[in-house]
Amino acid sequence: MILCCGEALIDMIAEPTTSGHGGFVPHCGGAVFNTAIALGRLGVRTGMLTGLSSDMFGRQLSHSLASSHVDTRHIITSNRPTTLAFVKVVKGQASYTFYDENSAGRMLRPEDMPSLPADVTALYFGGISLACEPGADAYSALAMRHAEGRAVVLDPNIRAGFISDETRYRARLDAMIARTDILKVSDEDLNWILRAQLSLREKAQVLLDKGPALVIVTRGGEGATGFLAEGTEVDVPAQRVQIVDTVGAGDTFNAGVMAKLASQGLLTKAGLASVNTKALKDALVFGTRVAAVTVSRAGANPPWTEEL
């Protein structure tokens, strides 16, 4: 089972109302939540580890996970509020305003993290859950404790506005990268992590040298590039579709990559250490196919297998 560890929140999406004034409609979201939903819909055995509220929004999130066949046994429930992200989409691009103080997800502590059963064979981390303390330290501690013998996938999905202490954040991120097998970054993430004037290949190599077997760089409409530790580089174009919005695009891309690797029996530490060019290309292409469906419709609404 792939256990997705990180934030689940409510995206309040701007929509017109019958009164003529703008309103907001609650939709389930969060980078790690979106990836879990996408994996479940793709038929991959998936679980979610997060902090959820007992409020109405927490119940909405839990129901959505179960409806997409995501295992919810590892969810930690409290009476703290749900994180809310108010979203406005202009010309397909989303902007966010977050309300996250003292939330059920953010206030997780290292001692809250459960022991993981043997059937959890891969761990996925990412999003704002790695930036907002104390929850960020809880997820980092989980990774340090349980990465041995499990494949680790990391997408930092960096939002600089959430980083209150850059030195602490960079130290935490470096420690997690050292335990990671697949590191996925956007080109913007890559340039934030490494501000030196280096080529894409050179920056990817710096990250590979920190420990991952595979670094994937996504470039929006330009596609994605995968870099293997032994020097192989694989480019794939983005799938061309009519874009409605980009909410959840990277999250569902990640799910597609993991789903394809899992179907090939490669989503293990040993498997990822031996990924060849064809397997990498197949995974990247499948990721772009899944993401293309998501961006072709409103909100983070990943496809089911039959829709592909």
Return d(Cα 308, Cα 292) in angstroms, integer: 10
DSSP string for 170-205: HHHHHHHHTT-SEEEEEHHHHHHH--SS--HHHHHH
Q: At what angle do helices 31-41 and 249-263 cross, to 10 degrees?
A: 40
The residue ranking higher by pLDDT, 94 or 64, is 64
- The tens digit of pLDDT for each residue in 247-300 reads 788 999 999 999 999 999 999 999 999 999 999 999 999 999 999 998 888 778
Rounded to an integer, the average pLDDT of 3-20 is 89
CATH of the domain at 115: 3.40.1190.20
Q: Which tokens go with 288?
A: 């772009």
- Rounded to whole angstroms, what are the CA distances from 287 to 116, 169, 260? 27, 28, 8
Give the whole-number percent of the chain exceeding pLDDT 70: 98
- The tens digit of pLDDT for each residue in 60-80 reads 999 999 999 999 999 999 999
User: Residue 281 corresponds to which amino acid?
Assistant: K
| The total number of structural domains that make up the chain | 1
Per-residue confidence (pLDDT) for residue 93, from 0 to 100: 67
Return d(Cα 80, Cα 150) in angstroms, integer: 31
- The tens digit of pLDDT for each residue in 127-168 reads 999 999 999 999 999 999 999 999 999 999 998 888 999 999
Domain that holds residue 92: 2-307
